[in-house]
Amino acid sequence: MKKNILIVGGSSGVGLELARHYVSEGHNVCVTGRTEPDLPDARFFPLPITASSADLTEGIDRLVTSFTGINTLVYAAGFLQRGAIDTLDEDALLTMTNVGLVAPMMLAARLKPLAPTPLKLMLITSSSGYTPRPQEPAYAATKAGLTMLGASLVRDPGIGKVLVVAPSGIQTPFWKHTGEDTGTMLEPRWTADQIVDLSGGAFKYKYAKILRNPARVEVVEKLDNDFKSMD
């Protein structure tokens, strides 16, 4: 069955690899991001997310009007932010909150009543969501919040399957100019393949970590439609 799949944060990295996969399967794919990827068979919608809530609201409303009948929302937007809490100004904190939490909440709120079938969610978080780091206070908080958002939304009868995946460092432009050694990080194509595999089969909610050294997948929690553990 051909589906309409929205991938937020699909200009590069895992989001782009997921877009390539779903396009190759014949689905209708819309990718958002700051820059247009080299993916002619997918639609592109520019959606830069900043500290402005007004701009975010306008952009999401235009997106939902432009690409309709969405079956699946893949939220893979990333925004690197480092610094002790007293070094992050209001714009930095608002931008991180909008990217990490407000945008996916707004999208779920708008897409749920419009979806032709119960809306499927695939939320890509990070190991920072369960590993506290002193230089990533806002980043870690939003990633942990995104995990809990997925766990809460799956209990809404109007929402379909929910997959929450927390990769542990991926080789993407995310790290450009940071001096970070990406040699041991996860490869984007491989990571996307694991996410696709995790999304298949019968379940209502699944939370998984994608770890490195060695690269591997750990399913932390899996629930069926009655919210009973399937592990």
Q: Which domain holds residue 15?
A: 4-223
The total domain count for the chain is 1
Please indicate, yes or no, if residue 228 is contained in any of the structural domains. no
- Show Cβ contacts of residue 38 under 8 Å, excluding neighbours closer than 6 positions: none
What pTM was estimated for this model as a whole?
0.94
39 torsion bin: left (phi>0), alpha (psi -120 to 50), beta (else): beta
Distances (CA, A) of 22 to 3, 60, 120: 9, 22, 14
Q: Which of 76, 201, 217, 215 is CA-nearest to residue 146?
A: 76
Only one residue has tokens 């699946």, namely 72
- The reply to whether 230 falls in a domain is no
| Sign of the alpha-carbon dihedral angle for 211, 9, 187, 141 | negative
- pLDDT in 10s for each residue of the chain, 231 residues: 899 999 999 888 899 999 999 999 999 999 998 889 889 899 999 998 999 999 999 999 999 999 999 999 999 998 888 899 999 999 999 999 999 999 999 999 999 999 999 999 999 999 999 999 899 999 999 999 999 999 999 999 999 999 999 998 877 766 666 666 666 788 899 999 999 999 999 999 999 999 998 999 999 999 998 777 765
Cβ neighbors of 11 (< 8 A, separation 6 or more) are 31, 32, 33, 34, 35, 36, 37
Let me know if residue 231 belongs to a domain.
no
> What CATH number is attached to the domain comprising 45?
3.40.50.720
Is residue 108 situated within a structural domain? yes
CA R_g for the chain: 17
